Structure 1
Amino acid sequence: MKKRPWKSSLTAIMLGAMIVQGGTAAWAAEPSTPTVVAPTVNYGLTKDIRAAIKSVGKTPTATGSQLAVTVRLYNGGTTQNRVPEHELRVQTSNGISYTLKPSASNKASLQPKEIAELVYFAAIDSKEIGKIESLSFVNVDLYAYPKVETTLLSMPTNQVWYGGTGSAALESIASAGWGQEFTISGVNSGLTYKTVESSLQNTATGRVAVVTVLVNNPGAGRETVPAFRVDAQSESKNYEGKRTEVAPVVLAAGETTYIHYAIPVESDVTLTNVVVLSTDTFVPKDGGQPSELATAKLAINWPVDGASTTAAAYTIGKPITFNAQAKVIDKSTEVSLMELHLHENPGEGYKTAVAKFKLTNTSTTPVATPAFLTELTSKLGASYQGVRQTNVTTMLNPGLSYVVSYSYIVPQSEDSESFALKILDAQAAAPYTTTIAALQTDVQKETTDNIISLYPIDVTFKDISVSMQYALGTYSYKVKLDLSISQAPNVVVDNNFSKLRFEIVDSLGRVVGSKDASFNGPNKLISGSQIIDATGANLDQFSSPFTINVYEAIDTPTGVAKRLIKVMK
């Protein structure tokens, strides 16, 4: 039988307007937004059934080659139609034809207006298959002698994935730049995609490349993100990715969302490309295990310097703008960075940075406290993971603000006066992180007068002195304070808030006494005169004069983080 290309204008209009279950994608219609891949061409298999090539792939193996083909069928009739008996054959440029095995899950008939995908596979013990030029549906009459073969439909293969590594393996598929919008050729979907972020993250099991893809539904109905894979590639190796979202991702009309792919890579690899692959499942008829067949559709260059969210200039105290798809922070919760300090730690082998965030509930009902992560990046590109304070209130009451602190341990050589501060979501692509905001801000300088700021509290030291007593062979120390304390309105200071730590250091550099003092509770610091007991080490001698180091102390899961805020002699 002669092949029958489907070229009827009327039929094309009808097929382009058909409604696909789960969305309103036009099957083989031109997409509504610019794309980097060509539309799928459709052909007539029978009077009512149309066929289109979804994917064709030839992948090298250790002993030969694997051939994988997926064909989409559409029943445009008004009654159930049986798929004609056939073999699926691949014709190559060297004149050889290969017959592929059908998946046990292939449908034998289609309901009216139904779309189905037929999957075929073959393992060939040869590496000399050549270029694939066409596919054929061939009916074989085994009851005739000699047997009679009838070609029901032959379709040219305009896009074939020839698997392999390096840039040469990508020559047969479309390409796009990072951040360019694309669709996936052959996949029955009207969704559009865009790569927006890449990062290399170290985990307990090794290094992982995490790629974030923005999905947009420009159609008029709900649509589910189809199965596809995102891999990474170097010049010598391919690295298989996996979507972190387990549940189906469904988008309403006009909705956008993020999906994420985790790609395990080697620690010293230099990535060159991201490869988008359509995936299908082949089920052997002999009862073997199903296998995934992946066919590359699009190559996207890996950004040379990564593709994290660009850090925008930020003014301390201003509300932070998060990306529209961020779900870890409630829309009614306003987040502001109120402090960022970097300071020395006398007696320690490192510096400490402290970032303090104000969380404000702008709604009329309580909301959950957002659990985000943070990361500082220096001028030289070194990144430091933040450690959140140990205790944080679980709910934010309306009209009030709460303070949450993050500390960062950095080397003594770190001298950056400005940092990029990333706010990270640890839930969307768990167990990996994604960036939901990035700020570029300067480190604040400590004041040189007697006023210190521990937002939302300002403490003025009017006087401070140390007294010493000797009894039973040891010395004890007391610190006399005269303070003035003020607090910003509508900002809660509870048991989770940081404390002041007073350390008494003698002339030999020994800490002879220390005391933590809180801003709440029965023994809290108050405006006016007060005395606190700072007895510490049991020393039978002392060396004056004394120095008092005043720290802000924050409890974290890894211990107490200290910010040196005042040295008094």
Structure 2
Amino acid sequence: MKRRPWKSSLTAIMLGAMIVQGGTAAWAAEPSTPTVAAPSVNYGLTSDIRAAVKSVAVTPTASGTQVAVTVRLYNGGATPNRVPEHELRVQNTDGLTYTLKPSASNKASLQPKEITELVYLASIDSKEIGTIAGLSFVNVDVYSYPKVETTLLTMPANNVWYGGTGSAAMQSIASSQWGQAFTIPGVNSGLTYTTVESSIQNTATGRVAVVTLLATNPGAGRETVPAFRVDVQSEQKNFEGKRTEVAPVILGAGEKAYIHYAIPVDSSVSLTNLLVLSTDTFVPKEGGAATDLATAKLAIQWPKEQGNVAATTYTIGQPIAFDPLTKVIDKSAQVSLMELHVHDNAGDGYKTAVAKFKVTNTGTTPIATPAFLSELVDKQGVSYQGARQTNVTSMMNPGLSYVVSYSYIVPQSEDSDSFALNLLDAQAAAPYTTTIAALKTDVQTEGSSSTISLYPFDVTFNDITTNMQYAAGAYTYRLKLDLTITQKENVVVDNNFSKLRFEVVDGLGRVVGSKDAALTGVNKLTSGKTSLDASSVSADQFTSPYTVNVYETVDTPTGTAKRLVKVIK
């Protein structure tokens, strides 16, 4: 049978090689040449209808083998054309033939220039199907005796997917490297994709592998991301994924967008491959539930390191470069990390890290305060989830900056002097997270000077004294402070801002009095001399000398986080 290519108007089927951004970071990538499937070879079924093989899958089942085939048809004529009456049969290399059942959803006719896909399925009680060599459309005239069979079209079966985890299964499909752009063989789409991030996330129901793909439309028209599936694979098992986006993802010419897949995996499993699979649905004519079919088209080696978004060296106070495709950060919002400290919590058994961000509205209208999450990752790859301060201003006015703090509980053994700080989007792949910025920065050390930084405040302790009094069986303590407080301009602070906590510690290391003081509000600390009454604890003795520990405290959903900023003896 003579073959010729699809008509030029069907540019979506002709998948050409294109340059796509892909590399170490989802939003700042190196150019790469995509892994591109050759255009589907098509054959004449009638004078107007062309046929091509989309997918062939041979999958083992509990009782035998399932054979699934999807064929794409195109009506190149100027009038509607009926699909010829036919059976679909597959032949193996030993000459055996198997007849597949058509899906009830298969179309019987095509409008001019219309493309459709016909789905076929057979469940065979045998595990010895062999290697599929080709498939045929056969017209069977059951009204003739003996019946007359006419072969309408025979096509070779290339790139058959033999479901499984072995090397033979992998050799039957194309392969690609992580971060390299690719197209999906056999799928009627001109879009290209790049793997940009993977992570293993723990949930209440178990571990989930979360994969992010960057979809790019290099064409001249709008196109919808087709239905396809992404699975992951270990040496012994396949794990089925599901796209987190429910609504269709539509890309205009030159547009890019992320799509995400969540894949539940077993505990402590070692993943080897990412599988990209085309999907179809078979509807039995005799009734019953529809069957979802999936055919692996591409295998991508699972990355050795999670995250895949390289942390860039960052200087405290500089604007953070976010993924430009994120919707969590408004285009008018400028975010800078102003402080990162780690300190011991005496008596609590752990350390606390505190990161403080300045968020500025550089636009001309109010915008929502960015609701990103964060995590710290040490040099060994151990990550610590951040807790955002409990109350945050919901809207930001133009020309002003606002302060948002995050705290991290880390073990006493954590001694890293630098961390990767990942800022996360909890909306794009909800309920899972994706990375929108990754910074590598050093931990700041508390200075020995009399001035401490509590951005946007600088507090200088000119003098501090402690007086003890005893009355009614309890000791009370009065702190006399002489402070100089300055504040950066155009930085808004309100009652949500962190506070100072003064703890009086006696010679035995016991906290014998404490007092919280705000830097905002009616009774805020001000420059000059002031006195604070520390709350007392019942004790029948005390031991001098006294030490005053000064903490910055932040209210978070997990409790009050403390940062030791100064020790006064």
**1: CA distance between counterparts of 2:473 and 2:35?**
84
Q: Deviations over 1:339-382 (max 9, x none)?
A: 00011111110000001010000001000011110010001111
Partner of 1:285: 285
Structure 2 unaligned spans of 5+? 20-33
**2: CA distance between counterparts of 1:342 and 1:527?**
28
* SS of structure 1 residue aligned to 2:536: coil
* SS of structure 2 residue aligned to 1:515: strand
**1: CA distance between counterparts of 2:323 and 2:168?**
37
Question: Shift of the alpha carbon at 1:307?
Answer: 4.4
Question: Shift of the alpha carbon at 1:36?
Answer: 3.6
Query: Across the two proteins, how many residue pairs are aligned to each other?
Result: 555
Say whether the 8 Å CA contact 1:232–1:239 is kept in structure 2. yes
**For 1:354-373, what aligned pairs fall within 5 Å after superposition?**
354-373=354-373
TM-score by length of 1: 0.96
Partner of 1:180: 180
Say whether the 8 Å CA contact 1:230–1:240 is kept in structure 2. yes
Bigger Cα displacement from structure 2, 542-551 vs 293-302: 542-551
Among 9, 16, 26, which residue is 1:17 paired with? 9
Q: Deviations over 1:485-516 (max 9, x none)?
A: 00111001111110000001111111111111
Question: Shift of the alpha carbon at 1:17?
Answer: 2.6
**For 1:452-531, what aligned pairs fall within 5 Å after superposition?**
452-531=452-531
**For 1:331-480, what aligned pairs fall within 5 Å after superposition?**
331-480=331-480
Instruction: Establish whether residue 30 from structure 1 lines up as the match of residue 22 from structure 2.
Output: no
Partner letter of residue 196 of structure 1? V
Distance 1:31 1:85, change over 3 A: farther
Instruction: Establish whether residue 116 from structure 1 lines up as the match of residue 116 from structure 2.
Output: yes
Say whether the 8 Å CA contact 1:251–1:257 is kept in structure 2. yes
Say whether the 8 Å CA contact 2:37–2:186 is kept in structure 1. no
Question: Shift of the alpha carbon at 1:27?
Answer: 2.1
Say whether the 8 Å CA contact 2:14–2:190 is kept in structure 1. no
* SS of structure 2 residue aligned to 1:179: coil
Structure 1 unaligned spans of 5+? 19-24
Aligned CA-pair RMSD: 1.1
**1: CA distance between counterparts of 2:495 and 2:240?**
47
Instruction: Establish whether residue 213 from structure 1 lines up as the match of residue 216 from structure 2.
Output: no
**1: CA distance between counterparts of 2:242 and 2:188?**
21
**2: CA distance between counterparts of 1:140 and 1:5?**
23
**1: CA distance between counterparts of 2:433 and 2:306?**
15
Aligned identity (percent) is 72
**2: CA distance between counterparts of 1:278 and 1:483?**
68
TM-score by length of 2: 0.96
**2: CA distance between counterparts of 1:307 and 1:93?**
44
* SS of structure 1 residue aligned to 2:193: strand
* SS of structure 2 residue aligned to 1:253: coil
Question: Shift of the alpha carbon at 1:32?
Answer: 4.1
Say whether the 8 Å CA contact 2:500–2:517 is kept in structure 1. yes
**1: CA distance between counterparts of 2:17 and 2:86?**
32
**2: CA distance between counterparts of 1:502 and 1:40?**
74
* SS of structure 2 residue aligned to 1:272: strand
Say whether the 8 Å CA contact 1:277–1:298 is kept in structure 2. yes
Question: Shift of the alpha carbon at 1:543?
Answer: 1.5
**2: CA distance between counterparts of 1:550 and 1:27?**
68
Question: Shift of the alpha carbon at 1:16?
Answer: 2.6
Say whether the 8 Å CA contact 2:15–2:190 is kept in structure 1. no
**2: CA distance between counterparts of 1:425 and 1:286?**
46
**2: CA distance between counterparts of 1:55 and 1:536?**
77
Partner of 1:168: 168
Question: Shift of the alpha carbon at 1:288?
Answer: 0.7
**2: CA distance between counterparts of 1:287 and 1:478?**
83
Partner letter of residue 15 of structure 1? K
Q: Deviations over 1:7-62 (max 9, x none)?
A: 2xxxx4x71333xxxxxx43245354543422211111111111111100000111
Say whether the 8 Å CA contact 2:15–2:189 is kept in structure 1. no
* SS of structure 2 residue aligned to 1:169: helix
**For 1:96-175, what aligned pairs fall within 5 Å after superposition?**
96-175=96-175
Partner letter of residue 80 of structure 1? P
Q: Deviations over 1:157-184 (max 9, x none)?
A: 1110000113332110000000111000
**2: CA distance between counterparts of 1:457 and 1:259?**
42
* SS of structure 2 residue aligned to 1:523: coil
Partner of 1:5: 2
Partner of 1:21: none
Question: Shift of the alpha carbon at 1:189?
Answer: 0.4
Partner of 1:22: none
Partner of 1:540: 540
Partner of 2:79: 79
**1: CA distance between counterparts of 2:131 and 2:46?**
28
Say whether the 8 Å CA contact 1:166–1:233 is kept in structure 2. no
**2: CA distance between counterparts of 1:423 and 1:536?**
41
**2: CA distance between counterparts of 1:276 and 1:382?**
30
**2: CA distance between counterparts of 1:159 and 1:116?**
21
**2: CA distance between counterparts of 1:307 and 1:457?**
35
**1: CA distance between counterparts of 2:514 and 2:166?**
62
**2: CA distance between counterparts of 1:408 and 1:110?**
61
Partner letter of residue 6 of structure 1? R
Q: Deviations over 1:171-203 (max 9, x none)?
A: 100000001110001111000001011111111
Say whether the 8 Å CA contact 2:59–2:163 is kept in structure 1. yes
**1: CA distance between counterparts of 2:396 and 2:35?**
44
